[in-house]
Homo-oligomer: A and B are copies of this chain.
Amino acid sequence: MMLWLFDGITMARHTEEENARDRAAALHPACELCRSPGGMLVLQRPHWRLVRVEDQDFPAYYRVIWNAHCAELTDLTPEQRHECLDAVAEVEAVLRRHLRPTKINLAAFGNMVPHLHWHIIARHVWDSHFPQPVWGPRQREVPEGARARLAATPATLDQAMREAFGPTSEAK
């Protein structure tokens, strides 16, 4: 939100993103992913957004969320599918470049929300669940904490994501 002085009245001028979210929330008031970003918003595009999930065990955990109500991959057109997966691949590339993780895990479940969203998670041999999926049984404790062992901080990763994708929707 930007503050805007007009005729002595301070008006709240919404950003494009806030306007889009307001429209979505008006259409689907009960939908959590229309009302809120669904994580720490990293960047916003017309069709999708990138958020970082705050998870103590998996500090390099991002989500690409399709902005419209589209639950399944095959609800998208082939072009939209490629756009969405290209974004997922770009997030994966940034994580690999900065973290050299053991593996990237990708998943789209969406059993509870009507938005296709991709989980993109950097995994390491030493992490709490490896080689199990993060939704599986815990394998070990990481005494110093996962964040301390990552090769880059979440803030650095967020910045790298924004640079990899270039200017956000507002600028283009």
- Residues of A whose CB lies within 8 Å of any CB of B are 71-74, 78, 81-82, 85-86, 88-89, 92-93, 96, 102-112, 123, 130-133, 135-136
Q: When chains A and B are docked, how far (Å) is the Cα of A88 from the Cα of B118?
A: 14
> Are A106 and B104 interface neighbours, CB within 8 A?
no
Given contacts A89-B73, A93-B74, A133-B135, A102 and B111 within 8 Å (CB-CB): yes
Distance A50 CA – B103 CA, assembled complex (angstroms)? 22
Give, as a whole number of angstroms, the nearest-CB distance from A9 to chain B.
47
Known: A74-B104, A106-B109, A107-B108. 14 other contacts (CB 8 A): A72-B92, A73-B92, A74-B89, A74-B92, A81-B86, A103-B110, A105-B107, A105-B111, A107-B109, A107-B133, A111-B132, A111-B133, A135-B135, A135-B136
